Structure 1
Amino acid sequence: MLIGHQIAYRNVASKYYHCKSEDLQLAFEDFTAILERNMYHPTGDMFFALISDPTEDEMIVEIFLPIQESVFQAVNGEQIYFQSYYTIKPMVMTRITENFNQLAQDKYWELFSFLHQHDYKQRTPIFVEYKQTKNNHPYIEMGIGIYPEL
């Protein structure tokens, strides 16, 4: 676990989705397509917040996608939010470098166990960021915002 991690992006559009875990990729594709149809240019740095318990039949997620544009006009018929700056810090973070589907649930519970063992207070839902190394190897960072120590 890494303590002191942060998420920080500029010009972030976001949208809530209710979906099954196996349909999460479809939600990503839908959100990207909506933005592109409306002439926004995603940067590719997609991440999401897992709002609901992952063991439930249907998940509630907020998908975030930074865009190149610094001005955002409402998209007709869609409830999309926009923030010029999006920052979550401090966070506790863990990485998954392989077997993403198998390890994601374990890492989810590992984060909560770590918070409990170290008396950290949860401030945000779990955030999941999809990333790549310089050699194009994918990995996932899962993090949770905590209240700063006083």
Structure 2
Amino acid sequence: MIVENHQIAYNNVASKYYNFVPEEIDLAIKDFDAILSGHGYHSVGKMFFSILSNPTAEVMTAKLFIPIEENDFTIPKEEEVDFSSYFLIDRMIMTRLTADFDAQSQVTFWELLTYIEEHEMSQKTPIFVEFKESNSGQTYVEMSVGVQ
């Protein structure tokens, strides 16, 4: 099910571009977390990313986002990490994956794009992927995209 009027909002968000094969996204996440923790920053336990390339590409380009506890951010330029004190994207459509993320993510990607076309909307952002956890501890994924 696709829902409208979704938004993504976080305070104190560090971000970094990565290129990787989809199976190795965990390595990119670990690398980014190591860069942040190596400079004394602490993740709040959330992570999301935007898909900037075609999902069928052999090498994926994505921007990883990690909200951190600190609101003051200084990191060496060569780390190529950006920081926003506030991150907000509204007017999004979203759908949720509760199981088999690897197998369902490409299908869901195209479902979102089809929904945009069928409802005569325009895509305004890349696809965003958020890893979340329910109150019962179940991990799930929300895929969303900004529309107009």
- TM (norm. structure 1) is 0.96
Moved over 3 A (4+): none
Amino-acid identity (%): 43
Describe the SS at the equivalent of 1:62.
strand
The aligned residue for residue 73 of structure 1 is 74
Q: CA deviation at 1:77?
A: 2.4
Task: Provide, for residues 17-56 of structure 1, a one-character-per-residue CA deviation record: whole Å limited to 9, x for no partner.
Answer: 0110011010001000110010000111100000000101
Structure 1 residue 61 corresponds to structure 2 residue 62: yes
Q: CA deviation at 1:125?
A: 0.2
Amino acid at match of 2:110: W
The root-mean-square deviation of aligned C-alpha atoms, in Å, is: 0.7
CA distance in 1, matches of 2:89, 2:77: 29
Describe the SS at the equivalent of 1:77.
helix
- Any conservation in 2 of the 1:130–1:140 contact (CA below 8 Å)? yes
Counting only pairs closer than 5 Å after superposition, residues 87-106 of structure 1 correspond to structure 2 as 87-106=88-107
Describe the SS at the equivalent of 1:22.
helix
- TM (norm. structure 2) is 0.97
Structure 2: segments with no counterpart, 5+ residues: none
Task: Provide, for residues 1-32 of structure 1, a one-character-per-residue CA deviation record: whole Å limited to 9, x for no partner.
Answer: 01000000000000000110011010001000
The aligned residue for residue 146 of structure 2 is 145
Q: CA deviation at 1:75?
A: 2.7
CA distance in 2, matches of 1:130, 1:84: 21
CA distance in 2, matches of 1:36, 1:123: 32
Structure 1 residue 41 corresponds to structure 2 residue 30: no
Structure 1: segments with no counterpart, 5+ residues: none
- Any conservation in 1 of the 2:39–2:75 contact (CA below 8 Å)? no
Counting only pairs closer than 5 Å after superposition, residues 21-36 of structure 1 correspond to structure 2 as 21-36=22-37
